[in-house]
Amino acid sequence: MTDEQQRRTINDKDKAEEYIRLFFEIVKKVNSDDKLVTYALLLIDGILEERRSRIEYLVSIQRSFKKDKKEDLIGVLNSFLFKHSG
């Protein structure tokens, strides 16, 4: 995928949230591959850095009223930080 195709995909709110969820799942569930987790965190950072208004996507996921859509993203990051502090 070219950079432009990636930007267009991430500009779609539903697609962006889908990718953010996927990357957070990697951070949440993968314990044995530090490089994969780091890569997922970098992708999340890149999505947000390119357009900081996308923080709304994270807030939307965090505060969703739909049980299957809601995810404690702050908790995932805190858990990651707690596991890797030392």
* Euclidean distance between CA atoms 32 and 37, whole angstroms: 9
pLDDT value of residue 19: 92
Domain range holding 67? Answer: 3-84
Q: What mean pLDDT is reported for the chain?
A: 89
End-to-end Cα, the chain, rounded Å: 38
**How many domains does one find in the chain?**
1
pLDDT value of residue 69: 87
pTM for this structure? 0.85
| pLDDT for residue 17 is more than 80 | yes
- At residue 61 the predicted structure's pLDDT band, cuts being 50, 70 and 90, is very high
| pLDDT for residue 30 is more than 90 | yes
Asked if 19 and 10 count as a contact pair (C-beta separation under 8 A), the reply is yes
| pLDDT for residue 85 is more than 90 | no
* Euclidean distance between CA atoms 32 and 12, whole angstroms: 32
Asked if 21 and 57 count as a contact pair (C-beta separation under 8 A), the reply is no
Average pLDDT over residues 20-48: 93
Average pLDDT over residues 25-44: 93
